[in-house]
Structure 1
């Protein structure tokens, strides 16, 4: 796959859960993260070109780490080995200034 990332992604030992901002539904967990994107391991298939508004939430909560609210576009999606899960790559397309500071803080803790 052609890698066009501007920033390297960091694998995380910290568990980051992803929730739909509107419905509150859990979408999955972050596998790796950068200032401009993330890879999601999801319980359900994700459509390529779908745009989600979501929250990245550290689980369990950690002092000094805030959840991050953002909008992201799904660039690719692949079924998992068990066909019940999915891997998906997202590009962050909407991030308010205060949320960018939360994301930066989160990245420093990875």
Structure 2
């Protein structure tokens, strides 16, 4: 994705954010960077482009009282990692409740 197409600046995650599937509880990976409209994930398992996920972004420590954000995201692209085991994937946030959007803003301020 070209930087010109990005609406919001990306922040490298200083805070460790793990991503879990809401329904299965499976760990999908770790957030590498995050913006108000998307995130890049480093995953232990291959993810498919066009896959829709309902997930929780979970912080290991509370940030202004926020531990997690629940959202729906669409996988825009996925690339295998150098080791062939992991993958990198880019997600666009497509479903975010108002209270979760507030929590996401809190996280973004601390990245």
Shorter-chain TM-score range: over 0.9
1:95 Cα offset (Å) = 0.1
Equivalent residue, structure 2, for 1:92: 93
Task: Provide structure 2 residue ranges, at least 5 long, that are not aligned to the other structure.
Answer: none
CA deviation after TM superposition for structure 1 residue 66, in Å: 2.9
Counterpart residue number, 1:80:
81
Query: How many correspondences in the alignment?
Result: 109
Give the CA deviation at 1:79.
Answer: 0.3
Q: How does 1:51-70 map to 2 (within 5 A)?
A: 51-59=52-60, 61-62=61-62, 64-70=65-71
Runs of 4 or more off by more than 2 Å in structure 1? none
In the superposition, the TM-score normalised over structure 1's length comes to 0.95
Structure with greater proportional strand content: 2
Q: Which residue of 2 aligns with 1:15?
A: 16
RMSD between aligned residues: 1.1
Return the offset for 1:109: 1.0
TM-score of the superposed pair, with normalisation by structure 2: 0.94
Structure 1 residues not aligned, in runs of 5+: none
Counterpart of 2:32? Answer: 31
Q: Provide the C-alpha distance between the structure 2 equivalents of 1:42 and 1:74, rounded to a whole number of angstroms.
A: 12
